[in-house]
Amino acid sequence: MSRLLALTGAVALTGAYASGCKETESEFFIKGVASFQGTCTAQAQADQILLFEGILDSSFRRDYTAALLFGNQLTQTDRVPDEKIRAETSRIVVQRAEVTVDSIDEQLVTSYTVPVSGFANPTVSGEPGFGLVSVPLIDAATGIKLGSNGVPVKVNTRVRLFGQTLGGADVHSNEFNFLVTVCRGCLVSYDPTLNDASAESSPNCLLPSTSAPSSAPCQIGQDSAVPCALCTSTNAYCQCANPVQKDGALTCL
């Protein structure tokens, strides 16, 4: 799914190549998927903690939306001493993302293009400028499809970002691969003190809690465990690990 865009226009970009195809992938690159665990915030900087893989629990949500950390290695516009100040043209504005989802055996699941918004300054003192952009690596329709039978499924998501410099040159990133496991109920964390041993399904969260509820994760249903006591009223998988269909609804016996 490599739809490469050529650099266009007579733009003064130090480090930009005359024919911009593959070359822009080294200048504009995706570093990884930012982790929100702990702080619930992501930083557009080189030392941002990144995820190795993702988890989507379809009992909570249908889409897997990633905060992609991307870098800009274009250098700042050359300046001549005593020259009038010129506008910096090497900043990158991200405009869209092309996403492909494949099965582990490399069969196409889906592909789509989405508009996105992101921005990164050029290289300063040899260090890339970084930015963040929110991209649905698994859209809602695909999440419903993959999570429909409750069996965990691992897929390979591939994403490429497209945008422009402030000087008007079209640029694109490298293609970044990220594995995501789609499951149902797998992110629920069961408190053993709330387990009802008399219930048929175990582990479960059927006993009343006597302590203060735990805090919710930053992104419920994505990557982080969810304490069962937080969601027993809204999610059958928070009540027990193996709910069954009864009268058209999931329930714990």
pLDDT tens for 4-31 read 333 223 233 333 333 444 456 788 999 9
What pLDDT is recorded for position 84?
57
Q: Which pTM was predicted? A: 0.84
What pLDDT is recorded for position 75?
81
pLDDT tens for 88-128 read 788 999 999 999 999 999 999 999 999 999 999 998 888 89
By C-alpha distance, which of 10, 29, 31 is closest to 174? 29
Show the domains of the chain with their CATH numbers: 24-53+64-139+156-177 (2.60.40), 187-253 (no CATH)
pLDDT tens for 238-251 read 999 989 888 777 88
Separation between Cα atoms, residue 34 and residue 188, nearest integer Å: 22
Mean pLDDT within 149-162: 95
What pLDDT is recorded for position 37?
72
Mean pLDDT of the chain: 85
- In sequence order, what DSSP letters do the residues of 29-79 get, joined into one string? EEEEEEP-TTTS---SSTT--EESSEEEETTT-S-EEEEEEEEE-PBPPP-
What pLDDT is recorded for position 245?
81
Lowest-pLDDT range, 21-30, 90-99, 136-145, 149-158? 21-30
Q: Strand 226-227 relative to strand 188-189: parallel, antiparallel, unpaired?
A: parallel
**How many residues belong to the chain?**
253
Buried b (16+ CB within 10 A) or exposed e, 78-98: eeeeeeeeeeebbbbebebbb
What pLDDT is recorded for position 252?
84
By C-alpha distance, which of 134, 133, 184, 175 is closest to 157? 175
Residue 253 has pLDDT above 80, yes or no: no
